[in-house]
Structure 1
Amino acid sequence: MSKFKSFLKGNVKEVENASLKLERFDEAIILRPLSSGEADAISEGCFKNKPGKKGKQERVFDTIKYNREICTASIEHPDLSDVELQESYGVRGADNLYSKLFLLGEANQILEKVTEISGIDVSMDDEIEEAKN
């Protein structure tokens, strides 16, 4: 028997999409968990070069952009790439639609749920406590 049998693709438990009901909408939005690879790709696009000390360029991470992009990537329903939906808000692009469609509090709820279902919200302290028990 293989020592890594539980890691084979067919044996891995799938994380299900999550439903999040926001008060302003009749339908819930559907969020999917993001893989590490997807988060890495998004992260790479969230660095900016800014002038630093003595004119040297420094790479700076844009946390706001990262949070917005992981939320946008996670939303399955409604389809933020839908042209009709974008036109109804007078914008082009999923990220611009996200900015118009959701209020700040709603965006925070979405981010919280995305981090939860993607396993980002588990702190090292939580894992240590779980291991102790």
Structure 2
Amino acid sequence: MSKFNAFMKGSVKAAEEVKMKLDRFPEEIVLRPLTAGEADKINERCFVNKTGRKGKQERSFDVVRYNRGVCSASIIYPDLNDAALQESYGVRGAEELYAEMFLFGESAQILEKVTEISGLNESLDDDIEEAKN
């Protein structure tokens, strides 16, 4: 018997979906946490080559595109890949729909919730405080 049984896929708790209510919509949206691999793939898509000093190519990271990619990948409901939903907003693609569908403040709320459920809001200070209690 392996000493790693606790880490085997069948032993790990499933990531929980979270419902979130936004004032403008009559129904809640449903979010899921992202895996590190999913975040890495989104991260890689967000680097672009730009001409820098003296014509030299430099890699630049598009933070807005990354945040939009993370949020749109986390939304389970509504399905941002649904053609009818995209058509109703006059866009194509999940990230384009996300950008058109949600207001700036709503987008910030979604990003905050996604980072929270994906475990990015926990800091060393939180761990220290928890250990004290």
Q: CA deviation at 1:116?
A: 0.8
Distance in 1 between residues matched to 2:123 and 2:82, nearest whole Å? 35
Look up the SS of the partner of 2:50 in the other structure: strand
CA distance in 1, matches of 2:124, 2:50: 32
Say whether 1:10 aligns with 2:10. Answer: yes
Query: In 2 relative to 1, CA 22–60 (structure 1 residues): closer, same or farther, beyond 3 Å?
Result: same
Is residue 32 of structure 1 aligned with residue 27 of structure 2?
A: no
Alignment of 1:28-67 (within 5 A): 28-67=28-67
Shift of 1:86: 1.1
- Give the unaligned 5+ runs of structure 2: none
| Percentage of pairs with the same residue | 65
Matches within 5 A, 1:1-133: 2-131=2-131, 133=133
User: Aligned letter for 1:33?
Assistant: P
The Cα of 1:83 is off from its aligned counterpart by: 1.0
Moved over 4 A (4+): none
TM-score of the aligned structures, taking structure 1 as reference length: 0.91
Which letter does structure 1 place at the counterpart of 2:15?
Answer: V
Q: Secondary structure at the match of 2:30?
A: strand
Provide the C-alpha distance between the structure 2 equivalents of 1:116 and 1:49, rounded to a whole number of angstroms. 31
Matching residue's letter, 1:127: D
Q: Which moved more, 1:118-127 or 1:84-93?
A: 118-127
TM-score (norm 2): 0.91
Q: Secondary structure at the match of 2:66?
A: helix
CA-atom RMSD, angstroms? 1.6
Gap runs ≥5 in structure 1: none
Count the aligned residue pairs.
133
Greater shift in the superposed pair: 118-127 or 34-43: 118-127
Q: Distance in 1 between matches of 2:9 and 2:130?
A: 25
